[in-house]
Amino acid sequence: MKMKTPILKSSWLRVRWVALMLVLGSILTACSFLSTPKTIHVNQSLLQTAVTKKWTDIAQSMHDKGMVATDPKVILMPDKQRIGAQFDAVVETGLLGGVMRGKMQMSGVPVYNPEVQAIVLKEFAVDSFELNNAPSMLDGLARRAVSMMVGKKVGVDVPVYFIKREQLSFAGKEWLPEKIEVEAERLNITLQPHEQ
């Protein structure tokens, strides 16, 4: 019986050693997990829903600048890292009560605005304007005219996706959007941890 005691002690020490290593490994894994960037994936249909909900406000802002815009369709532009909207537009030219009607596409660069806790569009541009009932050779001229009249005025932090408070806080850390990437069918928002 005295001979078995050292063997039992060494077995017990091994079990304790293995348990300690497992606990330390779990702690290191958890710490690594908490410092690894997280990504929120927002598909195009979710962006479309968000823009449709906010369209009344966006359209009112455009109307104040002399443009009526209806039926928006979200366009993701990964090659330019922009998000666009295509819509039916009526633009007042200011010349003898004239108007231009057609299909317009505008786009902006997605950035995070912490004040409204949302991904917003900045640096708006009029990408295209296809006039109704006019030769296509006039489309470029119409796009330039609209850009000068309303293009730069419209792009005032238009929100396209609101980030929920719980998505920005986890395990005592604040997570802030560091990178926004536009893909063909979704928007990827990469969050980095910051101490609160």
Amino acid at 62: M
CA distance 111 to 15: 52
Tell me the pLDDT band of 32, cut-offs 50, 70 and 90.
very low
Q: What is the pLDDT of residue 151?
A: 54
Give residue for tokens 């296809």.
Answer: 130
Nearest to 121 by CA among 148, 156, 91, 153: 156
Inter-residue contact 157 to 80 (CB < 8 Å):
no
Q: Where does the pLDDT of residue 154 fall: very low under 50, low under 70, confident under 90, or very high at 90 and above?
A: low
Give the Å distances, CA to CA, from 34 to 114, 171, 185, 195, 196. 22, 8, 28, 11, 13
Q: Mean pLDDT for the chain?
A: 78
Write down the pLDDT at residue 185. Answer: 94
What sign does the CA torsion over 62, 63, 66, 69 have? positive
* pLDDT(20) > 90: no
Higher pLDDT, 93 or 152: 93
Size of the chain, expressed as the number of residues it contains: 196
pTM, full prediction: 0.72
Band (pLDDT 50/70/90 cuts) for residue 159 is confident
> Given this model, what pLDDT does residue 31 score?
45
